[in-house]
Structure 1
Amino acid sequence: MSTTPPPPSSASPAEPPAAVLPPTPPVRLSALLGRADLGLGLRQVGGPPVDEGDGERLVQWVHTSEMEDPYPYLLGGELLLSAGLHLPEAAGAGAYLDAYVGRIVAAGGAALGFGVAPVHEAVPRGLVAACDRWGLPLIEVPSATPFSAVARAVWRLMAESRHAGLR
């Protein structure tokens, strides 16, 4: 019995796949930043101001990645979490960081959460500058706050919103 490979995908690698939205409502990034159950709390350190106006940034889901190019793995609307394992510290890191943030934006990422420690003691200044240039909110995740706690807070906000909508 011979098997034939599946036909090549018609989607261009330059275009992110169409997002299939979850059955829960999106979460306002400002609501996540205000969560008291996240230990020391999340803090915005770069990108456009997160407010509750018409330009409010919405998060559809949370994804953790240490890939140099997370684009192929994003659907759009993610709060992408990273500890910066792949970030260079040498000269020329600015171009790398600019390309990295540009790819997150091109994939439709909602925001980047950067976990400090054990790899980096602070959010790299070059990453802040790249997020400012690309208009991507950059959130500092303190070392005492596990990424799973951030994901749980997003799911709780989604559940609360869904529950309120059903009432």
Structure 2
Amino acid sequence: MSAVRDASREPSSTPPVPRVTLAALLARRELGLRLLTGPDDVALHWVHTSEMEDPYPYLLGGELLMTAGVQLRDPARYAERVVEAGAAALGFGVTPVYDTVPAELVAACARLGLPLIEVPPGTPFTAVARALWRLMAEARLHELRRVTEAQQSLAAAAARPAPVPAVLGALASRLGGRAVLFGADGTESASAGRGVPPEAARALADLAGVVGPRPGGPASASGEGGGLRLAAYALGGGDGLVLGVATERRDPGDHT
């Protein structure tokens, strides 16, 4: 049975680091990488090199898998196994085994929606891995700066005469979504930011009920509704207040 790739799938084993897309790696012109098929907006979490005939047992998901095709005997089956393992993309190094990327592999990756890049002879696989690590470090630094700036803006908002709407407004602006304060009875007491579909509003209220004032209940909960990412956080103080947020995407720094 052939695998069909879901481009929106994020492997659960991937680390909580900011997204580095394949497009960002392709933009490093010194590497000379060329996208042969598939989307370039997939997130890369690490690089792994393997010349195994079946790489599936050695992958965690989210990798840019690099190979020179030393044991590439069945390109279609190979691509299927890469997709089944949850790899983000496949990099194929031309020479010394192949002068070009096999057409059968290109066709299989196109059918499955697996991004396939050609790695030129002058680019070592280690150079690709090093470039990705640098991009990840830059993304992490940017994320830390974003979190620091957000915390400063929230602290400034809390010092205003009307702190609750000011904090909710600052939070909604930083997250690019909606922030809602729920009372102990589960009703919305204050909100700020863009409107959300009724389905998302109901789902967010349900999440708030999950982290309500019940003893021993969870401190946070997350889910999806109306095409949005949802999260609810129980606030301290013994008043049973819950903060709910609805956003189009959820980056690692958003939870912080």
- The reply to whether TM is greater than 0.5 is yes
1:42 aligns with 2:42: no
> Over aligned residues, Cα RMSD in angstroms?
1.3
Distance (whole Å) between structure 2 residues aligned to residue 61 and residue 139 of structure 1: 15
Please, which runs of 5 or more residues in structure 2 have no aligned partner?
1-10, 146-256
**Corresponding residue for residue 83 of structure 1:** 68
1:162 aligns with 2:148: no
Distance (whole Å) between structure 1 residues aligned to residue 121 and residue 62 of structure 2: 24
User: For 1:24-82, what per-residue CA distance to the aligned partner results, in whole angstroms no more than 9, with x for missing partners?
Assistant: 323100010010232xx100112x232xxxxx211111000001111111110000000
Q: Structure 1 runs of 4+ off > 6 angstroms?
A: none
Aligned-pair distance for 1:105?
Answer: 0.4
Deviating more after overlay: 24-33 vs 143-152: 24-33
Output aligned runs, 1:115-130, within 5 Å: 115-130=93-108
Match of residue 22, structure 1, among 12, 15, 27: 15
Q: Is the 8 A contact 1:19 1:75 kept in 2?
A: no
Distance (whole Å) between structure 2 residues aligned to residue 69 and residue 87 of structure 1: 9
Give the SS at the match of 2:29: coil
Give the SS at the match of 1:58: coil
TM-score by length of 2: 0.51
Match of residue 125, structure 2, among 147, 156, 161: 147
Match of residue 115, structure 2, among 98, 112, 137: 137
Higher helix content, 1 or 2: 2
Q: Is the 8 A contact 1:71 1:103 kept in 2?
A: yes
Give the SS at the match of 1:114: strand
Please, which runs of 5 or more residues in structure 1 have no aligned partner?
1-17, 51-55, 89-95
Distance (whole Å) between structure 2 residues aligned to residue 65 and residue 49 of structure 1: 22
Q: Percent identity?
A: 62
Distance (whole Å) between structure 2 residues aligned to residue 68 and residue 114 of structure 1: 14
Structure 1 letter corresponding to 2:14 = L
**Corresponding residue for residue 32 of structure 1:** 25
TM-score by length of 1: 0.77
Number of residue pairs matched? 135
Higher strand content, 1 or 2: 2
Aligned-pair distance for 1:133?
Answer: 1.1
Aligned-pair distance for 1:19?
Answer: 4.6
- Greater RCO structure (CA 8 Å; 6+ sep): 1
Q: From the CA coordinates, give the structure whose radius of gyration is larger.
A: 2
